[in-house]
Amino acid sequence: MKLRYLLYSFIGFLGLASCDLTGDIDNIKPYYQLDESSLIRDAKSADLALRGVYELWRSSDISMITPNMGLLAGSLTASSLTDRAVFSDNTVKPESETIAKYYKGLYAIVNYASLVGEQLEEGRAVGLDSVSTSRMIGECRFLRGMANFFLLRAYGQFYDENSTLGIILVKRHMTENKAAVRSSVEDSYKYIMEDVEDAIKMIPEEPTEHYYISNLTARAFKSKVLLYQKKYKEAADLAKEVLDEAAGYGYTMETNFADIFKHGHTSSEALFAAYAWGFKERLITNIRSTKPGSYPQQVADVLVGGVKDGDLVTGAGFDLRFAVTFATSTYGPNLNGKYPLNESDLNGQSNSYFYLRLAEVYLIHAEAAIRGYDDCAGARASLKEITDRAGYDTDYVNTIPDNQLLEMVRQHKMLELIAEVYEEWFDLVRYHIEGDLKISDVKPTVVSDKQLIFPMPQTALAGNNLLEQNPL
């Protein structure tokens, strides 16, 4: 692939046809690698095209950044990862191969979701009923909106809606390289929210499988975007609505924490988990190269029993979630209990990847209730759902002083979601911006707000002379 000639902001033809981008994911040639004119013709080709959008969420360009994001937050350590040193030291440079691939992978989703949605809107799926057509367009909107959200929080100043440093918004699929300027953060959020709102209107209430987007998933994700926008009352209200309705649509918390990951994309807790089964449906994270960072280990130790009494072999003396994830006697072939299946098994189920699960919505509600309404009682009720499952005393949440509750929500969220979809890093950034903590106290290598987001990849700058670099 000739990287210096690619405009990663508009990699339309890659999302449509490049084997370089998708061929090594499945070793197959799905519909989304065909010529645009033959992409959607009927109901079957429409289904396969939409599946192609979902499959891009398993692209190594996206999934392989997971351990690096753990290094960024200090939640993980590693000795053998690409760009390991610069992520560990929070000195990521524009030349980083890892951030270039991540940028490329997310824009591939944006562009391909746009293409599939447009062809469905044009009525190309002959014989596809109107209800299915609307649902599929809604799924495309959601997946595009989520990819744009991931782009914004990685490469844009997502924490400041007054900033001009948002992302390039691709509103129709691109088939050729074009230079373009970045939209503001406010306009970026506005476009993301338009897609999510469309998804909520178009996707039916009844879910199908947990690796597809449901109406409840779309609303849960909207509450997360609202949290990032600092619209805390709206986030709290919507998260509570989702939690109240979840069981009625088949979404429930797993009784045992480890079962979430054993069940994978079939888990009752999964709101959106990348489907993974056998060779053609595999997802690789490279998580095996990591170990727990000293900070989460300390938190997991202090919260349970005495200080420095945790046993990394058995997990005793540590928070249950930390033990399930990192105890050497139980953590499985990938050295991480959240990825319990052997990635070399090409016939059986592969490890799933959770982009959103019900536990996170409880934590979104807890934080937003405190920030938006000073509702410590409501926050405790949501946090209790998390801590009870993690083995804490049933009265534990009531022992947390009001002035420490927000920080405890963050710490429990870190232990709940560590090594999943890197919320621990973005929570550090958000809490730092809000003045709730000094990020350097957790990650001493973060000495400037310039380090809170990635630089724009050099490959993107080379292909787009209108693209403004982030402060370096």
pLDDT per residue as tens digits for the range 376-408? 999 999 999 999 999 999 999 999 999 999 999
Task: Tell me whether residue 179 is in a domain.
Answer: yes
Query: What dihedral do alpha carbons 371, 376, 377, 379 form, nearest 10°?
Result: 50
Count the helix, strand and coil residues of the chain and give each as a percent rounded to the nearest 5: 55, 5, 40
What pLDDT is attached to residue 159? 98
Residue 45 has pLDDT above 70, yes or no: yes
What pLDDT is attached to residue 35? 65
Phi, psi of 35 (to 5 degrees): -60, 145
In terms of domains, do 157 and 286 share one?
no
263-294 pLDDT, tens digit per residue, is 999 999 999 998 888 777 788 888 998 999 99
Task: Tell me whether residue 459 is in a domain.
Answer: yes
Q: Return the CATH number at 19.
A: 1.25.40.390
Task: Tell me whether residue 214 is in a domain.
Answer: no
117-148 pLDDT, tens digit per residue, is 999 999 999 999 999 999 999 999 999 999 99
Look at 175-184, 203-212, 381-390, 440-449 and tell me which has the smallest mean pLDDT: 203-212
The parent domain of residue 193 ranges over 1-203+447-472
For residue 259 the two structure tokens come to: 């079962």
Grade residue 32 by pLDDT with cuts at 50, 70 and 90.
Answer: very low
In terms of domains, do 74 and 37 share one?
yes
In terms of domains, do 372 and 466 share one?
no
Task: Tell me whether residue 235 is in a domain.
Answer: no
Are the C-beta atoms of 416 and 303 separated by less than 8 Å?
Answer: no
Beta bridge partners of 277: 349
In terms of domains, do 424 and 462 share one?
no
In terms of domains, do 14 and 163 share one?
yes
Task: Tell me whether residue 40 is in a domain.
Answer: yes
In terms of domains, do 71 and 170 share one?
yes
Q: Which of 107, 46, 77 is nearest to 464 (CA)?
A: 107
What pLDDT is attached to residue 15? 37
Grade residue 356 by pLDDT with cuts at 50, 70 and 90.
Answer: very high
In terms of domains, do 374 and 456 share one?
no
Q: Is the whole-model pTM more than 0.95?
A: no
Are the C-beta atoms of 112 and 48 separated by less than 8 Å?
Answer: no
Mean pLDDT of the chain: 90
In terms of domains, do 428 and 470 share one?
no
In terms of domains, do 289 and 360 share one?
yes
What pLDDT is attached to residue 28? 26
Q: What is the rounded average pLDDT of the residues 55-78?
A: 95
**Biggest alpha carbon distance in the chain?**
65
In terms of domains, do 42 and 143 share one?
yes
Are the C-beta atoms of 30 and 64 separated by less than 8 Å?
Answer: no
In terms of domains, do 113 and 251 share one?
no
Task: Tell me whether residue 346 is in a domain.
Answer: yes
In terms of domains, do 250 and 166 share one?
no
Task: Tell me whether residue 407 is in a domain.
Answer: yes
287-329 pLDDT, tens digit per residue, is 998 999 999 999 999 999 878 899 999 999 999 999 999 999 9
In whole angstroms, how far apart are CA 55 and each of 264, 282, 346?
16, 10, 17
In whole angstroms, how far apart are CA 251 and each of 65, 350, 364?
28, 22, 16
Q: Residue 197: CA atoms inside 13 Å, Cβ hemisphere, count?
A: 7
Task: Tell me whether residue 138 is in a domain.
Answer: yes
Q: What is the rounded average pLDDT of the residues 24-53?
A: 70
How many separate domains does the chain show? 2
